[in-house]
């Protein structure tokens, strides 16, 4: 229990009111280390409670009104807002002044907010902008947190992080949290951290909570099978992941045409719209969310029963982050991947890097539906889709309708050898 981690009654009470009564593995390991003043590297899967792991001990040790003492860097605006909101809840009975800073909005209100803050949650680019303008002083920082550190590297923020770190005092406590450690993060560990302790939990959801399946399906039948599964499966909240923004938009358009009430989430949507979509999904205003990688990491999206991978990213870690959206907090979940030729190389890499039990299912009969590759109405970016294109943007001589032939084969991958390797690996990890 949290009482056993030397937390104050005020914090324990606030956590209980949020339904957080028993610490997760990463929380149990990290909180005492942070309270001891150790530099910490926390490694755990998405949804394991990392915000509590670093946020609660920081609140515990913060004395409000002494100026800015904590900086928490996070890769996206949504995650910055989420962390701020969570920490405000945790500090309900132990007040802290928390400022949230990100790009795309006016600078002046943020300057005023930072001047009063004890804790600053920010994206790297906007904080670096404020530093260069002389709007904030980080020389008295006690705690420096890098959340979703691996995502920072992936998004190209690591140089900004280094510049920001150079503006902080040498005796600050550094906390790095993420699912994996890259060479760039290892560089921060070597040059900026003092004998860091490692708090490590499971890096992906346990199989006892998460069932994983895949269907080997031709590309031109993916949509038909997806609609069939959405109608046949006993689902509650569903997330469907796509590897590109254009696929997110096209798939959402086609699902709506089939009577599926779906919303989309991708990186080119406005901040207000993205937050509105997430809030609507969490409040059950819509049950199906079609998303790009922006929604796979960190965001506060609750009670997802099913994750569908409509296609795969080339980064095998992305698979782990996607399936981590379900089977959270001890609840059961299901992840289903629709696998066609172009997904085989990425799927093989998942098996090579992670020991997972992913079972193959054979689809029964299902209605073949047409997939419209043109959106007749304007897209959310204010342009119309014209021309007959496949999901990867390549022009074809006919619309990529479901039930029509699609002769695309990736040159660099042999279909039979790739799938044989995947099936062998599936058997080995059963």
How many domains, in total, are found in the chain?
A: 2
User: What DSSP line would sit under 322-337, residue for residue?
Assistant: HHTTBS-TT--EEEEE
Do 181 and 234 lie in one domain? The reply is no
Q: Would you say 239 and 308 are in contact if contact means Cβ atoms under 8 Å apart?
A: yes
> What residues make up the domain containing 233?
210-429
**Looking up tokens 């997802």, which residue turns up?**
304
Taking residues 73-102, report their average pLDDT. Answer: 94
Q: Please report whether residue 29 resides in a domain.
A: yes
Do 191 and 219 lie in one domain? The reply is no
Q: Please report whether residue 119 resides in a domain.
A: yes
- Containing H/E element for 232? helix 222-232
Exposed, middle or buried: residue 430 (CB in 10 Å: 0-12, 13-18, 19+)?
exposed
Reported as a single tens digit per residue, the pLDDT across 207-216 is 667 899 999 9
Q: Please report whether residue 190 resides in a domain.
A: yes
Look at residues 173, 200, 227 and tell me which one is the last residue of a structural domain.
Answer: 200
Paired with 387 in beta bridges are none
Do 298 and 406 lie in one domain? The reply is yes
pLDDT band at residue 148 using 50, 70 and 90 as cut-offs = confident
Do 122 and 220 lie in one domain? The reply is no
- The Cα 27–Cα 43 span in angstroms is 11
Q: Quick one: pLDDT at residue 335? A: 94
- Greater pLDDT, 48 or 419: 48
Taking residues 191-217, report their average pLDDT. Answer: 83
| Tokens at 403, concatenated | 């039930």
Do 286 and 316 lie in one domain? The reply is yes
Q: Quick one: pLDDT at residue 45? A: 66
Do 228 and 267 lie in one domain? The reply is yes
Q: Please report whether residue 292 resides in a domain.
A: yes
Q: Quick one: pLDDT at residue 206? A: 58
Q: Please report whether residue 92 resides in a domain.
A: yes
Look at residues 155, 173, 200 and tell me which one is the last residue of a structural domain.
Answer: 200
Do 182 and 230 lie in one domain? The reply is no
Reported as a single tens digit per residue, the pLDDT across 162-189 is 999 999 998 999 999 987 766 777 888 8
- Greater pLDDT, 43 or 374: 43
Do 91 and 135 lie in one domain? The reply is yes
Do 156 and 83 lie in one domain? The reply is yes
Do 257 and 165 lie in one domain? The reply is no
Q: Quick one: pLDDT at residue 312? A: 94
Spatial CB neighbours of 43, under 8 Å, sequence gap ≥ 6: 26, 177, 178, 179, 180, 181, 198, 199, 200, 201, 203
Spatial CB neighbours of 77, under 8 Å, sequence gap ≥ 6: 102, 103, 104, 123, 271
Do 216 and 170 lie in one domain? The reply is no
The CATH number for 128's domain is 3.40.50.300
Look at residues 200, 228, 260 and tell me which one is the last residue of a structural domain.
Answer: 200
Taking residues 404-424, report their average pLDDT. Answer: 36
Question: pTM of the predicted model, to two decimals?
Answer: 0.65
Q: Please report whether residue 142 resides in a domain.
A: yes
Reported as a single tens digit per residue, the pLDDT across 99-142 is 999 998 999 999 999 999 999 999 999 999 999 999 999 999 99
- The Cα 60–Cα 39 span in angstroms is 16
Q: Please report whether residue 205 resides in a domain.
A: no
Percent of the chain with pLDDT over 70: 82
CA dihedral 267, 272, 276, 277 (to 10 degrees): -20
Do 194 and 214 lie in one domain? The reply is no
């Amino acid at each position: 229990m949290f009482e056993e981690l030397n937390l104050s009654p005020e914090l324990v009470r606030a956590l209980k009111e949020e339904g957080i009564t028993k610490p997760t593995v990463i929380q149990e390991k990290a909180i005492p280390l942070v309270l001891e003043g150790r530099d910490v590297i926390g490694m755990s899967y998405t949804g394991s409670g990392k915000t509590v792991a670093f946020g609660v001990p920081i609140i515990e040790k913060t004395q409000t009104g002494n100026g800015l003492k904590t900086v928490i860097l996070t890769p996206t605006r949504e995650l910055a807002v989420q962390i701020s909101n969570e920490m405000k809840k945790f500090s309900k009975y132990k007040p802290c002044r928390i400022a949230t800073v990100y790009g795309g909005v006016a600078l002046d209100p943020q300057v005023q907010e930072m001047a009063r803050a004890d804790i600053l949650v920010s994206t790297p680019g906007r904080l670096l902008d404020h530093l260069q303008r002389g709007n904030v002083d980080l020389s008295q920082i006690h705690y420096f947190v890098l959340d979703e550190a691996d995502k920072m590297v992936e998004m190209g923020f690591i140089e900004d992080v280094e510049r920001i770190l150079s503006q902080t005092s040498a005796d600050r406590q550094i906390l790095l949290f993420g699912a994996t450690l890259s060479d760039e993060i290892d560089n921060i560990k070597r040059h900026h951290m003092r004998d860091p302790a490692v708090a490590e939990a499971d890096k992906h959801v346990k199989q006892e909570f998460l069932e994983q399946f895949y269907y080997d399906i031709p590309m031109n039948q993916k949509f038909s099978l997806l609609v069939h599964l959405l109608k046949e499966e006993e689902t509650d909240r569903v997330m469907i992941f796509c590897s590109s923004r254009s696929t997110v938009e096209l798939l959402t358009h086609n699902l709506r045409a089939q009577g599926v009430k779906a919303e989309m989430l991708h990186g080119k949507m406005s901040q207000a719209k993205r937050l509105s979509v997430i809030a609507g999904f969490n409040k059950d205003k819509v049950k199906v969310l079609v998303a790009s990688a922006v929604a796979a990491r960190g965001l506060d999206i609750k009670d997802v029963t099913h994750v569908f991978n409509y296609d795969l990213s080339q980064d095998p870690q992305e698979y782990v982050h996607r399936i981590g959206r379900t089977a959270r907090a001890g609840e059961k979940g299901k992840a289903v991947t629709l696998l066609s030729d172009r997904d085989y190389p990425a799927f093989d890499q998942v098996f090579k890097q992670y020991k997972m039990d992913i079972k193959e299912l054979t689809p029964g009969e299902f209605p073949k539906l047409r997939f419209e590759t043109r959106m007749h109405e304007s897209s959310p970016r204010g342009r119309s889709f014209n021309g007959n294109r496949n999901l990867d943007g390549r022009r074809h001589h006919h619309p990529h309708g479901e039930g029509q032939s699609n002769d695309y084969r990736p040159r660099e991958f042999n279909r039979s050898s790739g799938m044989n390797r995947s099936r062998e690996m599936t058997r080995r990890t059963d």
